[in-house]
A = this chain, B = another copy of it.
Protein backbone atom coordinates (compact mmCIF):
# COMPACT_ATOMS: atom_id res chain seq x y z
CA UNK A 1 0.00 0.00 0.00
CA UNK A 2 0.99 3.61 -0.12
CA UNK A 3 0.35 6.96 1.45
CA UNK A 4 -1.22 9.92 -0.27
CA UNK A 5 -0.81 13.63 0.36
CA UNK A 6 -2.71 16.44 -1.34
CA UNK A 7 -2.85 20.19 -0.77
CA UNK A 8 -5.23 22.73 -2.26
CA UNK A 9 -5.09 26.43 -1.31
CA UNK A 10 -6.40 29.87 -2.19
CA UNK A 11 -2.91 31.41 -2.10
CA UNK A 12 0.44 29.81 -3.03
CA UNK A 13 1.60 27.84 -0.02
CA UNK A 14 4.54 25.56 0.61
CA UNK A 15 3.90 21.95 1.50
CA UNK A 16 7.07 21.44 3.53
CA UNK A 17 5.38 20.87 6.90
CA UNK A 18 3.03 18.17 5.60
CA UNK A 19 5.70 16.64 3.38
CA UNK A 20 8.00 16.37 6.39
CA UNK A 21 5.41 14.11 7.98
CA UNK A 22 4.89 12.09 4.80
CA UNK A 23 8.65 11.62 4.35
CA UNK A 24 8.85 9.94 7.74
CA UNK A 25 6.45 7.30 6.52
CA UNK A 26 8.72 6.70 3.53
CA UNK A 27 11.13 4.42 5.37
CA UNK A 28 11.20 5.69 8.96
CA UNK A 29 7.86 5.68 10.82
CA UNK A 30 6.25 3.85 7.89
CA UNK A 31 7.30 1.10 5.46
CA UNK A 32 6.60 3.05 2.26
CA UNK A 33 10.20 3.02 0.98
CA UNK A 34 9.72 2.01 -2.68
CA UNK A 35 9.70 5.43 -4.28
CA UNK A 36 8.05 8.76 -3.77
CA UNK A 37 6.95 11.76 -5.80
CA UNK A 38 5.63 15.27 -5.38
CA UNK A 39 3.83 17.35 -8.02
CA UNK A 40 3.40 21.12 -7.94
CA UNK A 41 1.00 23.00 -10.17
CA UNK A 42 1.60 26.42 -11.68
CA UNK A 43 -1.60 27.24 -13.54
CA UNK A 44 -2.45 24.42 -15.94
CA UNK A 45 1.08 23.01 -15.84
CA UNK A 46 2.62 20.80 -13.19
CA UNK A 47 6.14 19.72 -12.47
CA UNK A 48 6.70 16.40 -10.80
CA UNK A 49 9.69 15.42 -8.73
CA UNK A 50 10.11 11.65 -8.73
CA UNK A 51 12.54 9.40 -6.95
CA UNK A 52 12.43 5.58 -7.02
CA UNK A 53 14.23 5.44 -3.63
CA UNK A 54 12.99 5.90 -0.08
CA UNK A 55 11.78 9.41 0.75
CA UNK A 56 13.29 9.16 4.18
CA UNK A 57 16.85 8.84 2.76
CA UNK A 58 16.34 10.91 -0.38
CA UNK A 59 18.65 13.88 -1.06
CA UNK A 60 15.97 15.22 -3.43
CA UNK A 61 13.33 15.07 -0.70
CA UNK A 62 15.70 16.92 1.61
CA UNK A 63 16.32 19.50 -1.13
CA UNK A 64 12.58 20.14 -1.52
CA UNK A 65 12.28 20.53 2.24
CA UNK A 66 15.04 23.12 2.24
CA UNK A 67 13.94 24.92 -0.95
CA UNK A 68 10.15 25.20 -0.63
CA UNK A 69 8.10 25.61 -3.81
CA UNK A 70 4.89 27.54 -3.26
CA UNK A 71 1.83 26.32 -5.11
CA UNK A 72 -1.95 26.29 -4.82
CA UNK A 73 -2.20 22.61 -5.70
CA UNK A 74 0.19 19.77 -4.87
CA UNK A 75 -0.04 15.98 -4.89
CA UNK A 76 2.44 13.67 -3.19
CA UNK A 77 2.85 9.95 -2.72
CA UNK A 78 5.13 7.51 -0.94
CA UNK A 79 5.03 3.99 -2.26
CA UNK A 80 5.08 0.57 -0.74
CA UNK A 81 4.86 -1.62 -3.76
CA UNK A 82 2.19 -4.28 -4.19
CA UNK A 83 2.03 -4.60 -8.00
CA UNK A 84 4.95 -3.76 -10.30
CA UNK A 85 8.66 -3.58 -9.41
CA UNK A 86 10.48 -0.53 -8.07
CA UNK A 87 11.32 1.76 -10.99
CA UNK A 88 10.92 5.31 -12.17
CA UNK A 89 8.06 4.24 -14.46
CA UNK A 90 6.16 2.83 -11.48
CA UNK A 91 6.65 5.86 -9.23
CA UNK A 92 3.59 8.00 -8.45
CA UNK A 93 2.27 10.58 -9.06
CA UNK A 94 1.62 9.97 -12.75
CA UNK A 95 1.07 12.84 -15.16
CA UNK A 96 -0.65 13.22 -18.53
CA UNK A 97 -1.91 16.05 -20.71
CA UNK A 98 -5.61 16.27 -21.57
CA UNK A 99 -7.40 19.32 -23.06
CA UNK A 100 -4.21 21.38 -22.83
CA UNK A 101 -3.68 20.92 -19.12
CA UNK A 102 -1.76 18.53 -16.92
CA UNK A 103 -3.58 15.90 -14.91
CA UNK A 104 -1.75 14.42 -11.95
CA UNK A 105 -2.76 11.20 -10.23
CA UNK A 106 -1.69 9.15 -7.21
CA UNK A 107 -3.31 5.96 -5.91
CA UNK A 108 -3.41 3.98 -2.72
CA UNK A 109 -4.77 0.46 -2.94
CA UNK A 110 -4.77 -2.44 -5.37
CA UNK A 111 -7.03 -2.88 -8.39
CA UNK A 112 -6.70 -6.55 -9.15
CA UNK A 113 -9.07 -6.61 -12.07
CA UNK A 114 -8.37 -3.32 -13.80
CA UNK A 115 -6.48 -4.75 -16.76
CA UNK A 116 -9.54 -6.29 -18.36
CA UNK A 117 -10.72 -2.74 -19.07
CA UNK A 118 -10.06 -1.45 -22.56
CA UNK A 119 -7.81 1.56 -22.92
CA UNK A 120 -7.89 4.22 -25.64
CA UNK A 121 -5.32 6.88 -26.33
CA UNK A 122 -3.56 6.85 -22.94
CA UNK A 123 -1.18 3.99 -22.29
CA UNK A 124 0.75 3.07 -19.17
CA UNK A 125 4.53 3.36 -19.30
CA UNK A 126 5.13 1.27 -16.20
CA UNK A 127 3.48 -1.90 -14.95
CA UNK A 128 1.30 -0.71 -12.05
CA UNK A 129 -2.43 -1.18 -11.80
CA UNK A 130 -2.48 2.46 -10.65
CA UNK A 131 -1.17 3.96 -13.88
CA UNK A 132 -3.47 1.66 -15.85
CA UNK A 133 -6.45 2.98 -13.87
CA UNK A 134 -5.32 6.57 -14.45
CA UNK A 135 -5.19 5.95 -18.21
CA UNK A 136 -8.70 4.47 -18.12
CA UNK A 137 -9.99 7.38 -16.04
CA UNK A 138 -8.61 9.99 -18.45
CA UNK A 139 -9.89 8.10 -21.49
CA UNK A 140 -13.35 8.09 -19.92
CA UNK A 141 -13.22 11.85 -19.37
CA UNK A 142 -11.89 12.42 -22.88
CA UNK A 143 -14.70 10.44 -24.51
CA UNK A 144 -17.31 12.08 -22.25
CA UNK A 145 -16.36 15.70 -22.99
CA UNK A 146 -14.85 17.11 -26.21
CA UNK A 147 -13.05 19.86 -24.23
CA UNK A 148 -12.64 20.84 -20.58
CA UNK A 149 -16.27 21.00 -19.37
CA UNK A 150 -17.78 24.45 -18.90
CA UNK A 151 -19.85 23.23 -16.01
CA UNK A 152 -17.54 22.25 -13.15
CA UNK A 153 -20.20 20.01 -11.65
CA UNK A 154 -20.39 17.95 -14.83
CA UNK A 155 -16.68 17.26 -14.48
CA UNK A 156 -16.93 16.47 -10.77
CA UNK A 157 -19.74 14.01 -11.40
CA UNK A 158 -17.88 12.34 -14.25
CA UNK A 159 -14.79 11.86 -12.07
CA UNK A 160 -16.91 10.47 -9.24
CA UNK A 161 -18.65 8.10 -11.62
CA UNK A 162 -15.50 6.64 -13.18
CA UNK A 163 -13.99 6.48 -9.70
CA UNK A 164 -16.91 4.32 -8.64
CA UNK A 165 -16.56 2.09 -11.69
CA UNK A 166 -12.84 1.52 -11.07
CA UNK A 167 -13.53 1.10 -7.37
CA UNK A 168 -15.28 -2.15 -8.22
CA UNK A 169 -11.93 -3.58 -9.38
CA UNK A 170 -10.38 -3.43 -5.90
CA UNK A 171 -9.35 -0.69 -3.50
CA UNK A 172 -9.28 2.77 -5.05
CA UNK A 173 -8.23 5.63 -2.81
CA UNK A 174 -6.88 8.32 -5.11
CA UNK A 175 -5.92 11.95 -5.50
CA UNK A 176 -6.39 13.65 -8.87
CA UNK A 177 -5.49 17.20 -9.83
CA UNK A 178 -6.30 19.22 -12.95
CA UNK A 179 -4.80 22.58 -11.95
CA UNK A 180 -8.20 23.83 -10.73
CA UNK A 181 -9.48 21.08 -8.50
CA UNK A 182 -8.18 18.46 -6.16
CA UNK A 183 -10.33 15.33 -6.34
CA UNK A 184 -9.92 12.91 -3.44
CA UNK A 185 -11.72 9.57 -3.35
CA UNK A 186 -11.89 7.41 -0.26
CA UNK A 187 -12.21 3.65 -0.62
CA UNK A 188 -10.79 2.52 2.69
CA UNK A 189 -8.84 5.32 4.36
CA UNK A 190 -8.52 9.05 3.67
CA UNK A 191 -8.69 12.18 5.83
CA UNK A 192 -8.74 15.90 5.24
CA UNK A 193 -8.51 19.13 7.15
CA UNK A 194 -9.17 22.71 6.07
CA UNK A 195 -7.00 25.22 7.89
CA UNK A 196 -8.20 28.83 8.02
CA UNK A 197 -8.23 31.75 10.46
CA UNK A 198 -7.90 31.68 13.39
CA UNK A 199 -4.79 29.59 12.76
CA UNK A 200 -3.15 27.65 15.56
CA UNK A 201 -0.18 25.46 16.29
CA UNK A 202 0.02 22.01 14.68
CA UNK A 203 2.20 19.09 15.80
CA UNK A 204 3.24 16.41 13.35
CA UNK A 205 2.28 12.84 14.28
CA UNK A 206 5.43 11.35 12.76
CA UNK A 207 8.11 13.74 13.88
CA UNK A 208 8.88 16.09 16.73
CA UNK A 209 8.01 19.12 14.61
CA UNK A 210 5.44 21.80 15.21
CA UNK A 211 4.41 24.90 13.32
CA UNK A 212 2.49 28.00 14.32
CA UNK A 213 0.39 28.63 11.23
CA UNK A 214 -0.64 32.05 12.59
CA UNK A 215 2.93 33.21 11.99
CA UNK A 216 3.13 32.10 8.33
CA UNK A 217 -0.35 32.96 7.07
CA UNK A 218 -2.66 35.92 6.53
CA UNK A 219 -6.28 35.93 7.80
CA UNK A 220 -7.66 35.19 4.33
CA UNK A 221 -5.52 32.10 3.69
CA UNK A 222 -7.27 28.79 3.36
CA UNK A 223 -5.47 25.48 2.94
CA UNK A 224 -7.01 22.05 2.51
CA UNK A 225 -4.77 19.07 3.20
CA UNK A 226 -5.73 15.48 2.37
CA UNK A 227 -3.76 12.47 3.60
CA UNK A 228 -4.18 8.72 3.96
CA UNK A 229 -3.88 9.14 7.72
CA UNK A 230 -3.97 12.41 9.70
CA UNK A 231 -0.54 14.06 9.66
CA UNK A 232 -0.95 16.00 12.90
CA UNK A 233 -1.91 14.81 16.37
CA UNK A 234 -3.64 17.89 17.77
CA UNK A 235 -6.08 18.81 14.99
CA UNK A 236 -9.48 17.41 14.12
CA UNK A 237 -9.23 15.67 10.73
CA UNK A 238 -12.33 14.58 8.83
CA UNK A 239 -12.38 10.86 8.03
CA UNK A 240 -13.66 9.77 4.65
CA UNK A 241 -16.39 7.18 4.21
CA UNK A 242 -15.96 4.39 1.64
CA UNK A 243 -17.16 5.53 -1.77
CA UNK A 244 -17.07 9.23 -0.94
CA UNK A 245 -15.26 11.70 -3.20
CA UNK A 246 -14.30 15.21 -2.13
CA UNK A 247 -13.74 18.10 -4.51
CA UNK A 248 -11.50 20.89 -3.26
CA UNK A 249 -11.00 24.24 -4.94
CA UNK A 250 -9.19 27.32 -3.64
CA UNK A 251 -8.66 25.69 -0.28
CA UNK A 252 -12.33 24.88 0.31
CA UNK A 253 -14.35 21.69 0.14
CA UNK A 254 -16.69 22.44 -2.76
CA UNK A 255 -18.56 19.16 -2.88
CA UNK A 256 -18.83 15.66 -1.47
CA UNK A 257 -20.07 13.21 -4.08
CA UNK A 258 -20.99 9.56 -4.01
CA UNK A 259 -18.47 7.56 -6.03
CA UNK A 260 -19.66 3.95 -5.85
CA UNK A 261 -19.55 2.06 -2.61
Contact = CB atoms under 8 A, between A and B. Distances in A.
A96 interface: yes
A122 to B, nearest CB: 7
A232 B99 CA distance: 42
Copies of this chain present in the complex amount to 2
Interface band, chain A: 20 to 34
Nearest to A98: B123
- Looking at chain A's contact residues, is the secondary structure mostly helix, strand, loop, or mixed? mixed
A12 interface: no
Contacts of A126: 45
Interface string A140-163: 000000000000000000000000
A89 B43 CA distance: 8
Interface stretch (A47-55, A104-112, A204-212): A47-55
Interface stretch (A59-67, A194-202, A242-250): A59-67
Contacts of A96: 97
Interface in A13-63: 42-50, 52, 59-60, 63
A43 B90 CA distance: 11
Contact of A123 (B48, B63, B67, B100): B100
Given A60-B67, A67-B60, A96-B97, A87 B125 contact: no
A12 B63 CA distance: 23
